[in-house]
Amino acid sequence: MIFFNGANNEPVLFRAFPTYLDGAALLWFSKLSAGSISTFEELARSFIDYFAASRIYVRGSDYLGTIIQGQHESLKEYMTWFAEATMEIPDLDPAVHLYALKAGFRPGKFRETIAVTKPKTLQEFRERAAGQMEIEELWEAERTDRKPHGKEEDKTIRSLNNKEPRKPFKLSPKFDNYTRFNTKREKIIKEILNAKIIKPSARPGSYQD
């Protein structure tokens, strides 16, 4: 280390520099014209200028303000997307992180809950978000269970397509004159059912049925 940091270290730096290069960087170094570089500072500047396009783009904290939860995006998807974005921002202030995270929520009950409870730390916020994500996953599982699957769904569709439209039932009198009832229809039907003269319908129907 003393040798590298000495007063006359440039010849050493020139010799050591290529040993750390590989691939495209080593190819660039090998094509430098003889006598084109006079100082190590010039070599470093030339190297940086040549590979400027390959530098990793570092985002600022302002970028988090562009991340908004979509109308049909789950909380879990939003949180995952937001976490990936924060990984690209060095030295992110936790307060800025929390503010941008809350600001990106779409209007709804969870946003109102956060506005009322006012979590002060990311840990406190993540605990509340974890509960909401479990609720959303439960809702999604229930919606999936209610949907018909596979053969049953195909069978239902085929049945609906092949079924002929049912003709409306019309009650037509067989005779011109009938004896008037001396009691209510409901009472007569109850007595018929109690006497087991006829069997009740297997499914509920209209009054005329």
Q: Is the pLDDT of residue 93 over 60?
A: yes
What is the model's pLDDT at position 76? 87
What is the model's pLDDT at position 197? 72
Q: Is the pLDDT of residue 151 over 60?
A: no
DSSP assignment of the chain equals: -TTTTSTT-HHHHHHHGGGG--HHHHHHHHTSPTTS--SHHHHHHHHHHHTGGGSPPPPPGGGGGG----TT--HHHHHHHHHHHHTTSTT--HHHHHHHHHHTPPSSHHHHHHHHH---SHHHHHHHHHHHHHHHHHHHHHHHHHS--HHHHHHHHHHHHHPPPPPPP----SSS--PPPSS-HHHHHHHHHHTTSSPPPSS---S--
Q: Does domain 61-146 have CATH number 1.10.1200?
A: yes
Q: Where in the chain are the domains?
A: 10-54, 61-146
How much is the pTM? 0.42
Q: Is the pLDDT of residue 44 over 70?
A: yes
pLDDT single digits (tens) 154-195: 555 555 555 555 666 566 777 777 777 787 878 887 787 777
How confident is the model over 113-134, as a mean pLDDT? 86
